[in-house]
């Protein structure tokens, strides 16, 4: 029976969202000329299709194609912008680290003096403890930023294309709307979709590949439970999918506009045309940072002297 069915479909064609049987059977169902039936006389079958599914299917396909085009363009432009920022950060990293450390010292020495004059030595000592915590937190954040910048690089056209294709495939398979009526699975799909979008936004091709190769394993490793994949093509799901694609198109357009309006994007465009410009920009910023470091060093020393005069010691351990 299965082979007969496939042979007749091959002869008469198959319409998405429908099914087929012998014309003699159709006489006991809808009339062949009705809105919900299409007759293939040569094959002797009647293929029943859903007109709403026929209307929605090309809309979904067009939205997917448009989104793929926009996603590819955004991914390439974002990766180029991020790569320039990462290269600039590497040139300025140590200057930023010194600048931020001195800013923290100056801020907390001022706070220490205020606490000392307002609440006495006990309150001022608490400020010293807060400084040590803030310093440790700042150093952790700096190391995390440096690590993130170290991993940023410009995606090749092939990688950008792969990322866009993977993202489309994964969002289509795992979109939460497919399980809108199953609350037990909805939360897991929302988390997975969020992870997919984050990987796309940050250029994390490795994570997208990981999810594509083993979605269940990825979910298990995150502690989100397991998923049951089913291929439903109901009208409500098609409508939600189309609406979601349209909303995502708007989101990508807005993200692209924000990117193109940023100073980082403008710099990336200029550097692409003038490769030596990055070194000139870095030198200019280093000069500005060095000037700021001189001012911060002077202010930190002045505050240390003032604290020493009031406490009989040095900078109260804020260094």
Q: Are residues 101 and 209 in the same domain?
A: yes
Domain count, the chain: 2
Structure tokens, 319: 């260094």
How far, CA to CA in Å, does 148 sit from each of 87, 142, 152, 313? 12, 10, 7, 40
What is the three-class DSSP state of 130? helix
Helix H segments across 120-182?
121-151, 157-174
Rounded CA separation 60/264 (Å)? 34
Residues 23 and 158 occupy one common structural domain: no
Domain boundary among 10, 29, 49: 49
Give the angle subtended at the CA of 249 by the CAs of 246 and 253, to the nearest 5°. Answer: 145
Q: Can you give the pLDDT at residue 13?
A: 41
**pLDDT given for residue 309 in this prediction:** 84
Nearest to 177 by CA among 232, 135, 131, 252: 232
Residues 20, 73 within the same domain: no
Residue 183 structure tokens: 């609350």
CB 311, CB 128: distance < 8 Å: no
Among 246, 173, 167, residue whose Cα is nearest residue 200: 167
Residue 32 located in a structural domain: yes
pTM, rounded to two decimals: 0.55
Residues 151 and 41 in one domain: no
Q: Are residues 62 and 205 in the same domain?
A: yes
Same domain, 94 and 31: no
> Which of 14, 33, 49 is the last residue in one of the domains?
49
Give yes or no: residues 69 and 213 share one domain: yes
DSSP conformation class of 179: G
User: Same structural domain for residues 6 and 143?
Assistant: no
**Residues 165, 233 within the same domain:** yes
- Residues 171 and 269 placed together within one structural domain of the fold: yes
Report the pLDDT value the prediction gives residue 265, as an integer from 0 to 100.
Answer: 95
Residue 152's pLDDT is what? 60
Residues 170-223: pLDDT tens digits? 877 877 777 667 776 777 878 888 888 888 877 778 888 888 888 877 776 677
Same structural domain for residues 40 and 73?
Answer: no
Whether the CB-CB separation of 191 and 227 falls below 8 Å is answered with no
| 278 and 129 together in one domain | yes
Nearest to residue 169, comparing CAs of 190, 191, 200?
A: 200
The reported pLDDT for the residue numbered 217 is: 72
Tokens 């931020």 belong to which residue?
Answer: 100
Range of the domain at 245: 55-306
Q: Across the 319 residues of the chain, what is the mean pLDDT of every consecutive 10-residue run?
A: 40 39 38 43 52 80 83 83 88 91 92 84 80 87 75 68 82 74 75 85 81 79 58 62 82 92 95 92 95 95 88 69
């Amino acid at each position: 029976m299965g082979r007969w069915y496939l042979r007749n479909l091959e002869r008469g064609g198959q319409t998405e969202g429908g099914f087929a049987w012998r014309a003699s059977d159709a006489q006991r169902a809808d009339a062949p000329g009705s809105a919900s039936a299409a007759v293939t006389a040569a094959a002797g079958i009647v293929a029943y299709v859903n007109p709403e599914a026929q209307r929605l299917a090309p809309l979904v396909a067009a939205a997917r194609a448009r989104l793929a085009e926009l996603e590819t363009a955004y991914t390439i432009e974002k990766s180029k912008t991020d790569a320039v920022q990462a290269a600039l950060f590497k040139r300025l990293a140590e200057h930023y680290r010194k600048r931020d450390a001195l800013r923290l010292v100056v801020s907390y020495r001022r706070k220490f003096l205020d606490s000392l004059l307002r609440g006495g030595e006990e309150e001022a000592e608490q400020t010293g403890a807060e400084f040590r915590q803030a310093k440790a937190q700042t150093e952790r954040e700096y190391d995390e930023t440096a690590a993130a910048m170290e991993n940023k690089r410009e995606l090749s056209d092939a990688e950008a294309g792969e990322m866009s294709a993977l993202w489309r495939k994964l969002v289509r398979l795992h979109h939460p709307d497919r399980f809108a009526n199953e609350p037990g699975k909805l939360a897991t799909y929302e988390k997975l979709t969020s992870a997919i979008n984050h990987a796309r936004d940050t250029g994390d091709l490795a994570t997208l590949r990981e999810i594509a190769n083993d979605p269940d394993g990825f979910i298990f490793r995150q502690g989100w439970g397991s998923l049951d994949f089913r291929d439903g093509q109901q009208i409500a799901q098609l409508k939600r999918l189309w609406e979601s694609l349209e909303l995502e198109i708007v989101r990508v357009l807005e993200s692209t506009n924000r990117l193109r309006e940023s100073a980082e994007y403008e710099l990336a465009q200029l550097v692409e045309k003038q490769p030596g410009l990055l070194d000139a920009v870095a030198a200019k910023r280093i000069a500005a940072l060095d000037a700021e470091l001189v001012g911060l060093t002077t202010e930190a020393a002045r505050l240390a002297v003032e604290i020493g005069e009031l406490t009989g010691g040095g900078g109260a351990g804020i260094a």
